[in-house]
Structure 1
């Protein structure tokens, strides 16, 4: 019996399936387990000796490339050991540094990106779809079909959802923000929108907390965290803020349906203080 190992673990296989589906719609392809030095030109690149040596040995989990095999970006699936293992953290920093130096997009994800469903997306497909959407926006802008000073704002992308009905499909928190605003206008809650704190802590973990007051004594809190990554058009800080708003919005729905009680203002403020203390 041959001594073999599976090329992908369960989480990596699920990542590949999601990536395959979304990149195929954009005429691209996915390649797993690609050596960094086979993807990026590292010769005479200005990399340090340590990073150059690492690029010769290490690989990307997934590389997305054009149909002509020109690399576009990489995706790394970080399991729990990336936070618990100091060696893994050191290697992650080397890989981040290489991609930063060579201006190569690198998206770091965990299981939440595969399982978290918001509107019609999971987080991974949302981010990848937006990457290709921004690229097409840039192409049209360079061709003069979009004003040169028009910024790309994913939350302003509109779609027709039926006759005379417009939706904003990429604005994940929009339905919940509308819910909170309407509830506030009816005096059902005190705040029309949550206050949000976002910090970067140890091991490049970005954390966010959103608090929405029900009244002067009670509140609801939403939290989120993700790894710092180098990927456009959504920064890890912006993503974390969006996810915290979504969580507190979902709790508002649960509160109105009498499925979730609020917490005291002092307890909510204490949770915010704990998040602030995570800042490096």
Structure 2
């Protein structure tokens, strides 16, 4: 007998089920795309219609037992193949036409490297709390001027992290401690997150360890048809990665770059990006902080 899920999909299913239990969600694996996004309703024909009838979502998440909310796709190594890229594009297009949220993940999203929960769990949980926040605003329970910020959500449960949705809280605090101990020059990082013309998010972070040298990290995040604060999440990930690199530097395992080279890279990497946020520790010869949307 064939298995419905492969080993990685089984891991995703377990992670999704754990979050679903907390928020009274239902999880259905291997659901036909046409049963969620009806071709006749969408008005699609030809190749798109055929694909919808023949393909499936890895997981469909429902509220109220059977009301479809969004889908999750696990993109393994095979998704780099040209034919699979074409299929994925068709699925993305159907979700775009149907205005249906789709979260594409890979094995990195199952790791707990960055905090007390996986990136997949973080995205799902933050999405649910974001919806609850906006519903509370609609009912007048929260001021309409207040913005949703998952990084300031505090847990009161014993044994849980104080700020469970702030991956970088401990990392940022560690950098401040290292500065106070005279191990590095800056207690805060400098960096930016911006969006390319293809929708991909790109981020760059650095921190001076001496007046003339700095440690840097960069990372990217693919675009998602999923309502979550992805720019902010990438900035959190960068802060964790940067602190790990600072640890390696202090252990003598890596070197640092001249600040002039770091600023040059900053300028080059920002070129062509639509800036989401920029922050600097502030030192002579560096561009001032800015924030644009």
TM-score by length of 1: 0.83
For the Cα contact (< 8 Å) 2:114–2:237, is it kept in 1?
A: no
Three-state SS of the structure 2 residue aligned to 1:44 is helix
Q: By how many angstroms is 1:221 displaced?
A: 2.3
| SS of aligned partner of 2:206 | strand
TM-aligned CA deviation for residue 37 of structure 1: 1.1
Question: What is the correspondence of 1:65-76 to structure 2 with a 5 Å cutoff?
Answer: 65-76=62-73
Q: What do you get for the CA RMSD once the two structures are aligned?
A: 3.0
- 1:158 corresponds in structure 2 to 154
Give the number of equivalent residue pairs: 271
Q: SS state of the match for residue 187, structure 2? A: coil
Sort the Cα spacing of 1:276 and 1:80 in 2 relative to 1 into closer, same or farther, 3 A: farther
The correspondence of residues 1-280 of structure 1 with structure 2, limited to 5 A, is 4-47=1-44, 49-82=46-79, 84-160=80-156, 167-184=162-179, 187-198=182-193, 205-235=200-230, 237-256=231-250, 258=251, 260-265=253-258
Q: How far did 1:183 drift?
A: 3.1
CA contact (8 A) 1:223 1:243 kept: no
Distance in 2, Cα, partners of 1:99 & 1:197: 30
Question: Contact conserved, 1:219 with 1:264, CA < 8 A, in 2?
Answer: yes
Shift of 1:191: 3.0
Q: Is the 8 A contact 2:29 2:60 kept in 1?
A: yes
**Partner secondary structure for residue 9 of structure 2:** helix
Q: Which residue of 1 aligns with 2:284?
A: none
Following superposition, the deviation at residue 248 of structure 1 comes to 0.5
Q: Does the CA-based 8 Å contact 1:199-1:275 persist in structure 2?
A: no
Identify unmatched segments of 5+ residues in structure 2: 274-293
Q: Distance in 2 between matches of 1:253 and 1:64?
A: 40
Show structure 1 runs of 5+ residues with no match: none
